Amino acid sequence: MANRDKLSDHVCRLAVYAVLIIPSVNESKKDPTGLRGKAGITGELKAHIKALALKDAEIGKACNSISPVVIKSVEWNLKNPTERDLYEACLAHWEISRFNSQIFDSLCVGLGDHHPASERDWYIPFIAAMCAMKEHEYRSKLGLPEVLTEETGESFAALHCSSFLNTVLNGARQPYVEWEESRSPRNA
């Protein structure tokens, strides 16, 4: 459970930044996260990164929390960061959180805390759910249309995504399987 706690922390941090670095389909065919197109994850938020930095304290502080020692090739104007400054800071935060979460996921595998069938394992769906929830939150702050409910057809899709975190932290033996089962109509 201590490993799950650390993994969850890094996945939640990863989600804060992942949805902001995904380019729109019109901008690039490549998606560094591999998440664009999953339910609730559009790639549309990158274009709003500056506006979001004004509305979200964590994003607003992103440039100030990356040490120049960590990223020597980037020079940021920390008093008035540009969209590019914010994007680069978010990219750096995402990379660090992704690296850390992969370490704890590897420990999950070593500890036997994974599903034997990779398509039923919980790590990647957990990341997608946390990112969908974060995009939902950001879209609300920005006054952008809500997409998660529309894409999934579920009235409480964001709440369901957030419940994945509880499923993981409450010690479910197979978090993804149990989380998916909680969506089924028989449990509604």
User: Could you tell me the CA-to-CA distances from 30 to 36, 59, 92, 183 in Å, in that order?
Assistant: 9, 23, 18, 31
The gap from C-alpha 139 to its chain's centroid, in whole angstroms, comes to 14
- Residues in Cβ contact with 169 at an 8 Å cutoff, skipping those fewer than 6 apart: 1, 4, 5, 8
Are 22 and 49 spatial neighbours (Cβ–Cβ below 8 Å)? no
Name the residue range of residue 12's domain: 2-183
pLDDT in tens, the chain (188 residues): 999 999 999 999 999 999 999 999 999 889 999 999 999 999 999 999 999 988 888 887 776 665 443 444 455 445 677 888 889 889 999 999 999 999 999 999 999 999 988 889 999 999 999 999 999 999 999 999 999 888 777 778 888 888 999 999 999 999 998 998 887 554 44
The structural domain count of the chain equals 1
Which 8-state DSSP code applies to residue 113?
Answer: -
pTM assigned to the model: 0.86
Quick check: is 188 in a domain? no
pLDDT for the residue 73: 46
Question: Rounded to 5 degrees, what are φ and ψ at 154?
Answer: -105, 130
Quick check: is 46 in a domain? yes
Are 24 and 46 spatial neighbours (Cβ–Cβ below 8 Å)? yes
